[in-house]
Amino acid sequence: MDSLTQIVLGASVGEAVAGRKLGNKALLWGAIAGTIPDLDVLLNPWLDTVQQLSFHRAATHSFLFALVVSPILGWLLHRLYKNQPATMRDWTLLFFLGFVTHALLDSCTTWGTQLFWPFSNYGVAFYNIFVVDPLYTLPFLALVILAAFHSRLSPRRRYLNNAALAISSLYLLWSFAAKGAANNVFEQSMAVQGVPYSSYISKPTPMNTVFWSVTAKGEDGFYNGFYSLLDEDKQVKYDFEPQNAALLDPLRGHPKLERLLEITKGYYTVEQDDNGAILINDLRFGKFDGWQESGGGYVFVYKVWKDADGELRFEEVNNRPKVDQQYLQMYWNRILGRSV
């Protein structure tokens, strides 16, 4: 998820592990532990597009990283704060849980997290929460900040932090329940309409867990639909988009192209632009405003072409829409199940 959310989660975990011994130092180092996995992006300037996609949420987000690095950092911090009552075990557990909860929370989003790296580069994803969700983050943040203003031995401090962890966890459980309810509607409506599919991905639309989208894999393309838990009509409208995978035939076999397609988990469509370059749409994220009648552009699009030397090049296309007050009002109405 977003950096602020991971900082808050890490701080709260640090407080739960060692708050009574370290006070706000536990919050601080917990926040740092919640940030460390995302420092993999610092290597981006030295990586091309596909390498960036492969490396992010890989090594630093794996269980192996947590197992190996946590005791090292635990030993270092125990040495740094040798006059503090926290033991090396406390410091190691603070970092271990900070790393693991970061990775598991990222796995709840759409991108996917390589939890089992280096044994597998599969991106584990549960698709139950958007990468930014104020209803998850803001109450969490508020309670953790309030906890920080109390003495490390205060029962109220512990109560506030425990409440923060409980409320945020309950919201995640709600997101799974909401996803299950949306999936039930998607499956029933596809059955009634005779939509043929072999698998599907459902995910929440931005910043909420009420309005959901689905992408179902058909034989030669994909069916896309949207449903709000507040919709009265349970018959979802599906739009079909051909995959056009044959456009990639001249390029197949290139390791980076194959890796890019692997990252999409097979959920991609292909287009060709006016200059002959290939555009690969990652359908896992869907379109920014596909819920509107006018449709919209895909969140993640990758341009592929051959340079003058015949080498295959990759570039992410910035396809962000204009988000203004009118757009947000329409989006809010759609979440509430109103026609737009």
DSSP string, 258-292: HHHHHHTTT-EEEEE-TTS-EEEEEEEEEETTTTS
295: in domain: yes
pLDDT in tens, 184-211: 999 999 999 999 999 999 999 999 999 9
| Confidence tier at 239 by pLDDT (50, 70, 90) | very high
187: in domain: no
Looking at residue 127, its pLDDT comes to: 97
Examine the fold and report which residue of 126, 142, 175 is the final residue of a domain before the chain moves on: 126
CA–CA distance from 83 to each of 22, 163, 299 (Å)? 11, 30, 50
151: in domain: no
Looking at residue 340, its pLDDT comes to: 66
Looking at residue 289, its pLDDT comes to: 80
Looking at residue 139, its pLDDT comes to: 98
311: in domain: yes
pLDDT in tens, 121-165: 999 999 999 999 999 999 999 999 999 999 999 999 999 999 999
- Say how many domains are in the chain: 2
Q: Do residues 93 and 200 both lie within one domain? A: no
Q: Do residues 119 and 38 both lie within one domain? A: yes
Q: Do residues 13 and 122 both lie within one domain? A: yes
87: in domain: yes
Q: How much is the average pLDDT of 67-71?
A: 98
118: in domain: yes
Contacts of 47 (CB under 8 A, 6+ apart): 55
Q: How much is the average pLDDT of 83-110?
A: 97
- The domain containing residue 82 runs over which residues? 3-126
What gap in Å lies between CA 231 and CA 85, rounded to an integer?
55
Is residue 181 pLDDT above 70, yes or no? Answer: yes
pLDDT in tens, 290-308: 888 777 788 899 999 998 8
217: three-class secondary structure by DSSP: strand
User: How many percent of the chain have pLDDT more than 90?
Assistant: 88
Compute the mean pLDDT over every residue in the chain, rounded to the nearest whole number: 95
Q: Do residues 314 and 198 both lie within one domain? A: yes
Structural contact between residues 31 and 11, judged by C-beta atoms closer than 8 angstroms: yes
17: in domain: yes
Name the packing angle between helices 24-35 and 134-148 (round to 10°). 150
Contacts of 170 (CB under 8 A, 6+ apart): none
Looking at residue 323, its pLDDT comes to: 80
33: in domain: yes
